[in-house]
A and B are shown apart, each in its own frame.
Chain A
Amino acid sequence: MPLSFTIALAGNPNVGKSTIFNALTGTRQHVGNWPGKTVEKKEGTTRINDYEIVVVDLPGTYSLTAYSLEEVIARDFIVNEKPSMVVAVVDASNPERNLYLVAQLLELEVPVIVALNMSDVAHSRGLKIDAQELSKRLGGIPVVETIGNRSVGIDKLKRAIFELATREHPGIVPQIAYGDPLEAEIDALQAEIEQDELLSQTYHPRWLAIKLLEEDEDVTGRLAAGDHETVLLTARQAAQRILDCTGEDAETLIANRRYMFIGDVVSGAVVRPTTAVETRSDKIDKVVTHRVWGVPIFLLLMWILFQFTANVSTPLLDWIGGVVNGPITRWALAILDTLGVEGTWLAALVVDGIIAGVGGVLIFVPVLLFLYLAVAVLEDSGYMARAAFVMDRVMRLMGLHGKSFMPMMVGFGCTVPAVYATRALENEDDRKLTAFLTTFMSCGARLPVYVVFGAAFFGDKAGNLTFAMYVLGIATALFTGFVIKRIVYRNKPPQPFVLELPPYRLPTPTSVWLQVWENISEFLQKATTVILACSIVIWLLLALPINGDADSFNNVQPQDSVFGSLAGTIAPVFGPAGFDSWRTTGALISGFIAKEVVVGTMNQVYVGEAASSTPGEADKTNPFRDDVGEIVTGFGDAVILTAQEIVNIVPRTVNIIPGVHIPEADWLNQQEEKVGSSRLEGALVAAFERTAGSPDKGRLAAVAFNVFVLLYVPCMTAVAAMRQEFGTRWMAYQIVYTAGIAWLAAVIVYQGGLLLGLG
């Protein structure tokens, strides 16, 4: 044995595998993806005596079949990378189903150690497990009792790992006996496989024989591609003989035998309480998934989750925005000053391109912080599975899974966390489809556009426009889901819903915090590049002159820049929708940076008010100390306001009931100041009227414009999130589809309106 070796951690979902992984590796870990897959891969190291041990966390799975991506990844790792051993984390309170995976690991003929986790839970349920007996009945493989969240048994586990790895004779891995007529067929097939040198080097012959009899799609596919037709033929004939002889297919027989084996193991080592006790979990569940209360409780929790991502995160978000645009920008300018490059394009690149880009990334951190916090609590408590249980009926109409509801809800706050929230779904196709649809849930940043246009064109009835946009978004999602399921996924076999409802547990702060931290640091690493690139490109487009003075790089009016002429070139595309001016088009293009920017850009191009993002000369003289003070007091205020927003969830929720009004807390006396944008409103009415030809047509064009804003490509951060989660191709589909459907809908609204005589 070398002084370093690799072990893998396997186990069912939710058995405390991450907890054991963290207890083993501490902070020495690295999170990435499995090569070419979107499934997360965690790797860490631990030291035992003089050995450096690499611990690889395999995806949580119930089995090792070819039907799910996670399962194929897990077993490929064991087959191809040949780790020195697999530590199977087993939930002691649910031994039978958990040992099924262990049985399959044994078939792979890899040395296995069982970590009997959750032994405290098993104990409290009156389950008595004799670890020694269990080990004996599993053919002598080591069994160690652990309580992951209290680090109990971790040292013993390490010792067991060390002993097994340094053992002179690794010993034989126990085998499951499949009985007649399976054993004879397995033996025959195994003999034939052993003839083939290449095959028997890659796979363990017995395992391969079993997989071939099970007609495992992945393995048969690989053998067919590798020109092993004769082995495949023998296997098919053998499977047929088994079917003829027993009346059952080999796959069923093998699964039955595995459970029989487990039954034998458990019957001698586990003593169950004679009377089943009603656990606290059962009592909670009676209320939470109650026939009448189930849905209201679910909606209430989702509403609170929405409040967390949409409102509670705002004070910290504003603070980060303020720090980046204020002190940090000033300091950068001061440094650039001392370098003697102030006012040049380099300074502009740093401030408007790089700092703005980085700020754009950082601003999402509070939103994601609260999202992941809430999601981790929902997951760890066991509620997430219940949410799927309660909502599945509704979501199925869209071809989605019960778990899809939560990301959709988050989408009304912000599309970016919504895309990440799809991680709660296990199935890749469900995840993709859900993420695809979340962008049609009108996010908070689109709201100001409806408000400004509503006030400008509809006066008192402004609310109707907003309401219509939200409804249209949901309708588009329904339509898209329906179409994709029917056309793109038409030939996909139905995905199993089959969902475990784990017992309720109190989430532990460390476990929650680790999940939050992992997810956020991953976002920072991956999203930064795309967002930085986008914001530099946009800056460049605005800085490059195309008309007039060629020397005016970085010093041109928007309409003379590449950006302006690009907007001008694209504008005619929107002719059929009635808003083909370069100004509206420019606003839409900049909306790609962030939808918040749409109104700001309109202010700039229609009213000529420069957005005051670049601080003036006077600001630059702010002494360093004041800036630091501002950051600190700003943070203090943000924390107070965050607490206030959490408190305000109560009045906001109660106030939904008609006729009830509880005032919201306002601890810092910051009555919301209404931004007076009447000048913009007037300019908008005039401009749309001019472009479309008459006041009525102008109004129709304005509605079409709002429809476009609702549906078109989400902001670059959301696009970056899509890319991080699903790859470049899927991201491209989304850009094309959203742009296409937005254009189509806008044109239908405008032309349809004209036909109906509204214009």
Chain B
Amino acid sequence: MIIAQTTLDQLTPGQRARVKRIAGKGAVRRRLMDMGVIRGVEIEVVKVAPMGDPIEYLLRGYHLSLRRSEAQMIEIEDR
């Protein structure tokens, strides 16, 4: 599985990636970090909501839902 994309929103269900960096500033970024989205953590896409947004992820053993716009802030490592 080769992933050429660079942000989390581009993954499809079942794919995983490691977080490289969170772009942006302010409350959203801070909240993401507090929820454990930091460099090196592995995130898996579980599923997409019926209307295409938000997206459900699995990290650190729990489920987290992010809007596409928020997932876009999360840069992931290329493999």
Contact = CB atoms under 8 A, between A and B. Distances in A.
B11 interface: no
Interface of A: 62-63, 65, 67, 93-94, 96-97, 100, 251-252, 255-256, 259, 272, 289-292, 294-295, 385, 388-390, 392-394, 402, 493-503
16 contacts: A67-B30, A100-B34, A255-B34, A256-B39, A259-B36, A272-B61, A289-B47, A291-B48, A389-B54, A392-B53, A393-B52, A493-B26, A496-B28, A497-B54, A500-B63, A503-B63
Interface in B1-38: 22, 26-28, 30-36, 38
A294 B49 contact: yes
Contacts, number: 115
Interface of B: 22, 26-28, 30-36, 38-39, 41, 47-54, 56, 60-67, 69-70
A389 B56 contact: yes
Nearest to B28: A496
A393 B38 contact: no
A259 B67 CA distance: 23
A290 B51 CA distance: 10
A294 B50 contact: yes
B56 to A, nearest CB: 6
Given A259-B36, A498-B31, 15 more contacts: A94-B61, A96-B61, A97-B60, A252-B22, A255-B34, A289-B56, A295-B51, A392-B67, A393-B53, A394-B51, A493-B27, A498-B35, A498-B64, A498-B65, A500-B35
Contacts of A62: 31, 34-35
Q: Identify whether the interface residues of B are mostly helix, strand, loop, or mixed.
A: mixed
Given A496-B70, A498-B28, A97 B50 contact: no
B50 A291 contact: yes
Nearest to A63: B34
B62 A97 contact: yes
B49 to A, nearest CB: 5
A255 B31 CA distance: 11
A388 B34 CA distance: 21
A530 B38 CA distance: 49
A52 to B, nearest CB: 35
Closest CB pairs A-B (n = 10): A63-B34, A393-B51, A501-B63, A294-B50, A496-B31, A255-B33, A496-B28, A67-B27, A96-B60, A497-B67
A498 B32 contact: yes
Contacts of A65: 30, 34
Contacts of B39: 252, 256
A385 B32 CA distance: 17
A395 B38 CA distance: 29
Given A62-B35, A252-B38, A501 B64 contact: yes
Contacts of A497: 54, 65-67, 70
Contacts of B30: 63, 65, 67, 251
B56 A501 contact: yes
A251 B54 CA distance: 26
B65 A385 contact: yes
A203 B31 CA distance: 24
A390 B52 CA distance: 9
Q: Which of A94, A97, A494, A498 has the most CB of B within 10 A?
A: A498
Nearest to B67: A497
B63 to A, nearest CB: 4
A390 B55 CA distance: 10
Contacts of B49: 289, 294, 389-390, 392-393
A503 B47 CA distance: 15
Given A392-B67, A495-B27, A500-B62, A97 B51 contact: no
Nearest to B52: A393
Nearest to A392: B54
Given A389-B65, A496-B70, A97 B35 contact: yes
A290 B60 contact: no
Contacts of A96: 36, 60-61
Q: Which of A251, A272, A292 has the most CB of B within 10 A?
A: A251
A484 to B, nearest CB: 19
